[in-house]
Structure 1
Amino acid sequence: MVDAIDRALVHALQLDGRAPYSRIGEVLGVSTQTVARRFNRLRAEAGLRVIGLPDPELAGRSQWLLRLTAVPHAAQDLAGALSRRSDTSWIKLASGGTEIVSIVHATQSDGNALLLHDIPRTAGITSVSAHYLLHMYVGGPTAWRGRAKSLTPAQESALRSSRAPGAGTGAAAGTPGRGAVRALDVGDGKLLAGLGADGRATHAELAVRTGWSAATVARRMEELQGSGAIYFDVDVDPGALGFTTSAMLWLSVPPAHLDAVGRALAGHDELGFVAATTGRTNLVAQAICASPNALHTYLTERVGAIEHITAIETVPVLRTVKAAAPFAPGLVGLPV
């Protein structure tokens, strides 16, 4: 069970994933030891972790939303194989366990290997659709608003004032502005691998990974964060926070109204992800609600009140197999 302190800790990390325990404790009015103890308990029991990720565009990666339908006995194995790849994230089993939804990160150098080569050769897949992510309204640096309701405006302001320039996370912190930054190189790849494993790793720990000095790590991280080239995401099981029902929403909207509808949906606390895509449906969202009845109410009263949505497909999410993941070299093949 989580309490008000746990929820406030998650909110604080969404604002600043690398905030010291002492600073979080000061803002929450509890001891440093309490913050550390709560963090470790949530990490063990609710999968809480902070992850450093690169901006996909600045990293030269395109993002695709992949929908796979597989025969029942193969779907879980396929989802597991996809989760071991370095070019996938947010893998979900949906629709009775026969559908897999995943984000795929592709580059020109890999030749879209997963989409063009590995998936077509994989046994057990009965249908495939790939949707190019054109614009993200919620997701990435703009995190889910539903879990950012525990701190007062004064507490949020106190955390922001202590944050390094450009070092925000989540919707409450705002999307970092983009500035001039030198291209990511091999050393940055090692730095990102370290931050992908643990976004709260110390400069000394990251220095061991990169071969740089701790001072060089600190300078490079400040540059990358200040430019918006990297951001910090927070993973935590929504069920531990009381959100037990999730569904993917595939919507069709006339192009002239797509941006207006996307912006309207981005203001909904019930949505953890909203993006414009290519395909027969051109807007996709993930709803995260407290119960099936709450999802029904959200769909009928809030989504139903938005004009220009001409069709909606609601697909229940049964399990998240993989959440955010680091970008690292090398791919793990699919079973053929």
Structure 2
Amino acid sequence: MNSAVSTMDDMDRALVHALQLAPRASWERLAPVLGARPDTLARRWERLTAAGDAWTSGLGLRTGADAPCMAWVEVTCTAGSSPAVGRELTGDAHTLRIEHATGGRDLLLFVAVPDLPALYRYLSYRVQLIPGVVATRSSMVTTVHHSPNRWRLDQLSPAQTAQLTDRRPQYAHHPVVPPATALTAEDRPLVLALARDARLSVAALARECAMSESTVRRRLGRLEAGGCLRFSCSLAHVHSGWPVSATVWAEVAEYDVAECAATAAGLRETRACMSTTGPWNLFLSARLRTVEDLSRYTAELTRRLPSLRIADCAVSLYIRKSSAQELDAQGRRVRCVPPDLWSDPAPTAADPAPLSTGPGLRAVGC
């Protein structure tokens, strides 16, 4: 854990809230909204990031022309082995979130890979072969109704929020570009650099990625316009006022999913809402002030959604990794694990060769 000393005050939380709304906004743009000098905001942000208390990151949402194949994976471990298994998985580019959770699983993973064969390879030749892993159960994400980066603090006033959200896109002064259809190999170094720090300047990105500044601006504009790149700003949960994370699995009739998801996303506590495969078709992640608030949250869900049946709940004991960032037990960032979703998730794995039809044997059609 970073040993830098940090304290949080209301101005720090207001700064984080502002960057949740506009992660790449300049200090000059944020200064009048927050009532502080640009250099003061820059110093505050440097202190927060040095201590791991807050950070910004970018996440690529394409592997080529397609959205990645995403799944929630429940992992069962032998007694006492889940810490070692969690540590082993932390450095994996394709596991974006790792929780030590209560209930019928030891670990809950969020995995993103290019396609279904890659998921098979990652689970079969990587996750399931880690010493201590007994079993896994996977639920494919079919629709993301409410993504985690949309959860916000409530530090700014409505007027301040409007100042940051009622604005043209950052790159509107550049020629209009069509929506991106793919995240290309040439975009890869840019996306990986932004995963570490979404506030890197165009000049810094150009140096790091060996591109011209005009190329960086053009690529950023294309990726943002096409929804290929998602920026977020996060705060260590120990400082957020919402330190408890919980997961709810629910079942709802398919024709009611969209309406139920919209209602659930409207609750203050809801961090994410996704449709999934498996025995339960709705996955909810929530941020809570206390563990006791979980029962109130689920009661409110069922009150507003009579057709929804809650099947299981889990509380996170330790979030080891979130959105490709390794965290300590207090939720402070330790390091970024580059989410290189394009890489092979199990490069040394190979399926056994099919049985050959030797002398005296013949292949039977099926």
TM-score (normalised: structure 1):
0.86
The range that moved more, 105-114 or 230-239, is: 105-114
Q: What's 1:327 paired with?
A: 339
Larger Cα-atom Rg? 2
Q: What's 1:170 paired with?
A: none
Give the C-alpha shift of residue 25 in structure 1. 1.8
Aligned CA distance change for structure 1 residues 40 and 59 (closer, same or farther; 3 Å): farther
Contact 2:139 2:278 in 1 (8 A): yes
Matches within 5 A, 1:246-325: 246-325=245-324
- Spell out, residue by residue over 1:60-91, the C-alpha distance to the aligned partner (whole angstroms, 9 max, x if none): 41111111111232111111221201111121
Contact 1:15 1:159 in 2 (8 A): yes
Question: Quick one: which amino acid aligns to residue 11 of structure 1?
Answer: H
Give the C-alpha shift of residue 225 in structure 1. 1.0
Q: What's 2:244 paired with?
A: 245
Question: Quick one: which amino acid aligns to residue 95 of structure 2?
Answer: T
Contact 1:85 1:333 in 2 (8 A): no
Question: Quick one: which amino acid aligns to residue 281 of structure 1?
Answer: W
2:164 aligned to which of 159, 163, 168: 159
Contact 2:102 2:315 in 1 (8 A): yes
| SS across alignment from 1:2 | coil
Contact 1:72 1:98 in 2 (8 A): no
* Percent identity of equivalent pairs: 26
Contact 2:146 2:274 in 1 (8 A): yes
Contact 1:16 1:163 in 2 (8 A): no
Give the C-alpha shift of residue 179 in structure 1. 5.0
Question: Quick one: which amino acid aligns to residue 22 of structure 2?
Answer: D
Contact 1:246 1:286 in 2 (8 A): yes
| SS across alignment from 1:319 | strand
Contact 1:247 1:317 in 2 (8 A): yes
2:43 aligned to which of 37, 42, 47: 37
Separation of aligned partners in 2, 1:327 and 1:46? 19
Aligned CA distance change for structure 1 residues 280 and 109 (closer, same or farther; 3 Å): closer
Q: What's 2:9 paired with?
A: 3
Contact 2:122 2:345 in 1 (8 A): no
Matches within 5 A, 1:147-226: 147=153, 149-160=154-165, 161=167, 163-165=169-171, 179-181=178-180, 183-226=182-225
- Spell out, residue by residue over 1:112-160, the C-alpha distance to the aligned partner (whole angstroms, 9 max, x if none): 22123222323312221111101112215x5114x2x222333223223
Q: What's 2:358 paired with?
A: none
What is the aligned-residue RMSD (CA, Å)? 2.6
1:90 aligned to which of 94, 97, 119: 97
TM-score (normalised: structure 2):
0.80
Residue 134 (structure 2) pairs with residue 135 (structure 1): no
Give the C-alpha shift of residue 17 in structure 1. 0.6
| SS across alignment from 1:66 | strand
Give the C-alpha shift of residue 286 in structure 1. 1.3
Contact 2:100 2:108 in 1 (8 A): yes
Separation of aligned partners in 2, 1:221 and 1:332? 27
Separation of aligned partners in 2, 1:333 and 1:80? 17
| SS across alignment from 2:126 | helix
Separation of aligned partners in 2, 1:118 and 1:245? 30
Give the C-alpha shift of residue 46 in structure 1. 5.0
Give the C-alpha shift of residue 198 in structure 1. 1.0
Q: What's 1:104 paired with?
A: 111
Q: Which 5+ residue runs of structure 2 have no aligned equivalent?
A: 1-6, 325-337, 348-366
